[in-house]
Amino acid sequence: MLDWQEFLNQQKLDDGPLPDCALTDLSHIGLIQVSGEDARDFLQGQFTNDINKVDVTHSQLSAYCSPKGRMLASFRVFERDDVLLLMVPAERLAASLQRLRMFVLRSKVQIEDASDRLARIELSGDCAPGLLPIDPPSEDNGVHSLDGYTVIRIPGDRPRFQVLGEPEAMQALWEEAAATARPTSAVAWALLDIRAGIPTVYEATVESFVPQMTNLHAIEGVSFTKGCYTGQEIVARMHYLGKLKRRMYRVRIDSTHQPEPGEALFSPHSGSGQGAGRIVSSAPSPDGGYEALAVIEIAVAETGDVHLGAVDGPRLTFLDLPYTVSAP
């Protein structure tokens, strides 16, 4: 039996338009394991969300902030086999591990890279529930673990399920699902996350955004009642004083190149020294061009006159988000 990465290297992954039934490799997402009797108390003092609401049936989005309230990383947190697991972009895993370990001190906590222990895929489309190895959760962000598999239901414009399991079992699942679903690269995952309005912090956007700028409070990624955590004072002040001047939008861009995370946006209506905004993430659109999430000055976004790269660059077309963004 090949190891998981060798197995994936032999698969043909489609980078084309998003298929109606997709089987997606999630190797670009790393996995951090946090265990020990103080694990929950430790993470409660680090992350924006209330870790005590994570259990074997419910996952949550959360963020790790600097003392200035700027996002260093974004996670999906879930529980499996009595430990907490954090799904994070692989490019941010090493830095996140290093920083978390700095604050363990005398806490009875072990923090490890678990990326090689559990293989990760996503099944999406109306076909997805029938391809899962176990019954799916019924609600968004729900979790079901059984027979060595963990299935997490992800919000989106179609049924989406992330599946984790031992590499050998996941190879068999992949081969069975591939008879129906089209194997795809991370491009499919990125597009579905964009359409769901789920932000991701990449290397290029570290410390670029306060959580509310990425709408994290609108998708249950921030708790304003849990108590103290790193950066909490800044995040809470923005919530209670209501001074948010930027937030995240879903857009479409007809560009000759794919917009990169952190790429600057411009507008003739912006007087900010920080610019009109920045790209959070992007992916090729089946309709041509690119779909993206972008943090933009609210006043500028309301003019609709926002451009990529330069004031005369490609103009952004604003699209609806699948949720309402209320005051932070």
Q: How far apart are CA 304 and CA 225, in angstroms?
A: 35
**171 and 208: one domain?**
no
At 46, is the secondary structure helix, strand, or coil?
coil
Across the chain, mean pLDDT equals 95
Give me the domain span that covers residue 268.
Answer: 203-319
**167 and 297: one domain?**
no
**Which of 196, 227, 253 delimits the end of a domain?**
196
Q: What CATH number should be reported for the domain holding residue 294?
A: 2.40.30.160
What's the gap between Cα 308 and its chain centre? Answer: 23
**Which of 196, 214, 240 delimits the end of a domain?**
196
**What's the pLDDT at 147?**
97
**242 and 278: one domain?**
yes
Please report which residue ranges of 21-92 form alpha helices under DSSP H.
39-44
**What's the pLDDT at 1?**
56
Q: Is the pLDDT of residue 30 over 60?
A: yes
Q: Please compute the mean of the pLDDT values over residues 87-111 and round it to a whole number.
A: 95
pTM tops 0.85:
yes
Q: How buried is 96 (Cβ within 10 angstroms: 0-12 exposed, 13-18 middle, 19+ buried)?
A: buried
**86 and 165: one domain?**
yes
Q: How far apart are CA 141 and CA 287, in angstroms?
A: 28
Q: How far apart are CA 319 and CA 289, in angstroms?
A: 14
Q: Is the pLDDT of residue 328 over 80?
A: no
In a domain, 163, yes or no: yes
> Token match 């870790």: residue?
51
**292 and 226: one domain?**
yes
**307 and 228: one domain?**
yes
Q: What is the pLDDT of residues 293-326, one digit of tens each?
A: 999 999 999 999 999 999 999 999 999 999 999 8
Q: How many other C-beta atoms lie within 10 A of the C-beta of residue 304? A: 12
Residue 84 is inside which H or E element, if any? Answer: strand 83-89
**21 and 157: one domain?**
yes
Share of the chain above pLDDT 70, in %: 99
Which has the closest alpha carbon to 295: 239, 246, 235, 255?
A: 246
In a domain, 327, yes or no: no
Q: Please compute the mean of the pLDDT values over residues 52-60 and round it to a whole number.
A: 98
**Which of 140, 165, 196 delimits the end of a domain?**
196
In a domain, 255, yes or no: yes
Q: Range with the lowest mean pLDDT among 77-81, 162-166, 217-221, 241-245?
A: 241-245
Number of separate domains in the chain? 2
**What's the pLDDT at 327?**
67
**44 and 191: one domain?**
yes
Q: What CATH number should be reported for the domain holding residue 116?
A: 3.30.1360.120
In a domain, 278, yes or no: yes
Please report which residue ranges of 178-258 form alpha helices under DSSP H.
186-196, 232-241
Residue 297 is inside which H or E element, if any? Answer: strand 290-297
Q: What is the DSSP letter of 203?
A: G
Contact (CB, 8 A) for 228 and 48: no
**69 and 181: one domain?**
yes
Q: What is the pLDDT of residues 282-294, one digit of tens each?
A: 999 998 999 999 9
Q: Is the pLDDT of residue 206 over 60?
A: yes
Q: What is the pLDDT of residues 113-158, one digit of tens each?
A: 999 999 999 999 999 999 999 999 999 999 999 999 999 999 999 9
**181 and 217: one domain?**
no
Q: Please compute the mean of the pLDDT values over residues 27-56 and round it to a whole number.
A: 97
Distances (CA, A) of 49 to 44, 203, 227, 305: 8, 22, 10, 34
**11 and 27: one domain?**
yes
**77 and 207: one domain?**
no
